[in-house]
């Protein structure tokens, strides 16, 4: 049985099924990508930075044996060697490259399936090739919302555990209430806290977190909190 839901973890961006966490913010998109046939065998996965697009796209790619390509480099890809299901990441990076747009046009015309990821809808990609514009604008969209509190909390716990760092539950709530809604931000925040903790020889507390946020909040708190 497939467990839900996807997000990006770790500086090497290893996308593992065991790192899925359920969340209302990505449930609908997960179902569209992983659990249903797509209209025309093509789908665009749209979501803000840090919402988990790459992880979900790679999970689908693993499930169907798809090749993963990056939009900005499509103009340099030998399409003769590209067969079967395809993922194209970061579609807005196509803008300004006639060769990359032409390559995606040819990929779209194949049998598919084709999954494209982007931070915005096709109308905002800045495409110039008319035939490509008409094709991508006809594709169905799956939307990922920014991570909610439940997902961010689960991600933070997992990131600390990966570093073998134990923190108090109230610290997780403190961080979630103050951080940007992004899994990439969560990853950077945990790395910063761990580095500061090692540098100062102190545990990760709310006071240390307050210093990361550039705030005096928590400075009078018990250092063990």
Residue 22: what pLDDT? 66
* Pick from 2, 18, 1, 6: nearest CA to 161: 18
Residue 20: what pLDDT? 66
* Pick from 49, 47, 48, 63: nearest CA to 15: 63
Segments of the chain scoring below 50 in pLDDT = 1-12, 216, 218-225
CATH class entry, domain 17-143: alpha beta
Helices (H), 6-142: 27-34, 53-64, 98-108, 130-137
**Is 59 within 8 Å of 6 (Cβ atoms)?**
yes
**Is 158 within 8 Å of 9 (Cβ atoms)?**
yes
Residue 14: what pLDDT? 66
**Is 157 within 8 Å of 131 (Cβ atoms)?**
no
In this structure, the dihedral spanned by the alpha carbons of residues 88, 93, 95 and 100, taken in order and rounded to 10 degrees, is -50
Residue 139: what pLDDT? 96
Residue 5: what pLDDT? 34
Residue count of the chain, please give it. Answer: 225
Alpha-carbon distance of 99 to 84, in angstroms, equals 21
67-70 and 86-89: which strand pairing? Answer: parallel
Residue 46: what pLDDT? 97
Stated pTM of the model: 0.79
H or E, element range at 143: strand 140-143
Alpha-carbon distance of 126 to 13, in angstroms, equals 28
SS3 content of the chain, % helix, strand, coil (to 5): 50, 10, 40
Which residues, including other chains, have CB under 8 Å from residue 201's CB and lie 6 or more apart? none
Q: What is the residue extent of each domain of the chain?
A: 17-143, 149-212
**Is 71 within 8 Å of 45 (Cβ atoms)?**
no
User: Degrees (nearest 5) of the Cα angle 17, 19, 24?
Assistant: 100
Residue 11: what pLDDT? 37
């Amino acid at each position: 049985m497939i467990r839900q839901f996807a997000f990006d973890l770790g500086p090497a961006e290893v996308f593992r099924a065991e790192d899925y966490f359920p969340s209302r913010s990505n449930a609908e998109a997960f179902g569209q990508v992983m659990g249903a046939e797509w209209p025309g065998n093509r789908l665009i996965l749209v979501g803000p930075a840090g919402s988990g697009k790459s992880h979900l796209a790679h999970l689908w790619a693993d499930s169907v044996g798809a090749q993963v390509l990056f939009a900005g480099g499509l103009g340099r890809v030998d399409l003769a060697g590209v067969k079967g299901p395809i993922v194209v990441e970061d579609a807005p990076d196509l803008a300004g490259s006639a060769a990359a747009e032409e390559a995606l046009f040819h990929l779209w015309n194949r049998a598919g399936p084709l999954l494209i990821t982007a931070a915005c809808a096709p109308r905002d990609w800045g495409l110039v090739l008319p035939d490509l514009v008409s094709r991508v604008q006809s594709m169905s969209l799956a939307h990922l919302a920014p991570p909610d509190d439940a997902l961010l909390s689960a991600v933070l716990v997992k990131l600390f555990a990966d570093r073998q760092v134990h923190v108090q539950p109230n610290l997780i709530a403190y961080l979630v209430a103050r951080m940007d809604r992004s899994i990439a931000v969560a990853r950077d925040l945990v790395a910063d806290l761990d580095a500061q903790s090692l540098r100062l020889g102190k545990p990760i507390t709310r006071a240390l977190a307050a210093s990361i946020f550039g705030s005096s909040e928590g400075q009078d708190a018990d250092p063990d909190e």
